[in-house]
Amino acid sequence: MGRLDEREAMEILDQLRKRSLWMLHYCTACGAVELPPTMTSRYDMERFGIVPFVTSRQADILLVTGYINIKTLRRIVTVYEQMLDPKYVVGFGSCTINGGIYWDSYAVAKRLDLYLPVDLYIAGCMPRPEAVISAFRHLMRLIDEGKADGYRRYKDNYYWFKANQKKVLGE
Amino acid sequence: MKRIEYLKRIYEGRLIEINPKRLLITVPKDEFISALSTFKVNSFNQLTFVTAVDWIKESEFEIVANLYSRENRLNVFVKTRISRDNAEIQTITSIYSVAKKYEVELTEMFGIKVVGNEDAGKPFLLENWKSKPPLRKEFDSVAYAAEHYEARHAEEKND
């Protein structure tokens, strides 16, 4: 058997990774209330290999559950940068997509994808546990196909993301 | 209820009963702290919140403190009015120490200066805030949001 080249190695790693996703659920807002039934025996997302995790250094998925206000955004960016590659960002609920019902708020940043590379959005206010599980199955498919490349986009467009973050945080 | 009777007697009709669970009293701003002390001594030993109401047409802020008496199962709202320009109150942390963070909020959200609370004036929720205090009535939240936070347009497709 010859040596694997990098592409083949990545394909095998992606196959393995997609069945073992550790999720850091950054509970910014009300959406977090849908996660306990998703995690526990009713919907049991552990059957797909997804485990809630408490530290950023060991997590693969950053699940941003709800509106992102300017104080929270700074913490989310720090948490995201602490995570190790490969890492995936999932925006949960309509607040991360377009601000949701907080569209006129003085403190809520409306779009998550300007500040972090979002791999997947889950629409809804708020999404049901079935939607969360379905999104994670979709994320697994994206990882398998090599399309969940948010962490590479973050590196490639680092200055663009940083400029957006600085602009909204007023630094 | 003996203490409530006593309070009603010393405030001579100014202590109004809104409903069986709630009392209301409006005092001049010089009496605010002494009123709070009086209520605390007479069984109202929990401060639930302190906040402000912006009466922009009258050019006044109304400071509202909600106290609760566990002994009598009774709420009281203690209200006072201060001028809107150069709004300033004395701290009430010496009476109710939980008021510390509420006073930070008064400074941050309404721009009311709190004398005697060293935390008030430091940014707590609004880091790097350069505009007016956002809960003042003249602050236009929609315009601020449109200016500072980029919106997603409906026709844009990201799939």
**In this predicted complex, what is the ipTM?**
0.79
Cβ distance A110 to B134 less than 8 Å, yes or no, reads: no
CA dihedral A143, A147, A148, A153 (to 10 degrees): 150
Which pLDDT tens digit goes with each residue over A10-69?
888 888 888 888 888 777 888 888 888 988 889 988 888 888 888 889 898 998 988 888
Structural domain total, chain B: 1
Structural domain includes residue B154: no
User: Is-contact A121 A96, C-beta < 8 A?
Assistant: yes
Nearest CA in chain A to B131: A106
Cβ distance B144 to A70 less than 8 Å, yes or no, reads: no
Burial label, B10 (beta-carbon count in 10 A; 0-12, 13-18, 19+): exposed
Distance CA A168, CA B157 (A): 23
Report pTM.
Answer: 0.84
Which pLDDT tens digit goes with each residue over B65-115?
999 999 888 999 999 999 988 889 999 999 999 999 999 999 999 999 999
HSE-CB for A10 with a 13 A CA cutoff: 11
Query: Taking CB atoms and an 8 Å cutoff, what residues of chain B touch A95?
Result: none
Structural domain includes residue B49: yes
CATH number for the domain harbouring residue B68? 3.30.460.80
Structural domain includes residue B155: no
For B67, the domain range is 2-148
Cβ distance A106 to B150 less than 8 Å, yes or no, reads: no
Burial label, B107 (beta-carbon count in 10 A; 0-12, 13-18, 19+): buried
Structural domain includes residue B159: no
Chain A residues whose C-beta sits inside 8 Å of any chain B C-beta: 69-71, 74, 97-99, 103-111, 113-114, 168-171
Structural domain includes residue B84: yes
Structural domain includes residue B61: yes
Cβ distance B158 to A169 less than 8 Å, yes or no, reads: no
Structural domain includes residue B42: yes
Decide if pLDDT at B47 tops 90.
Answer: yes
Structural domain includes residue B53: yes
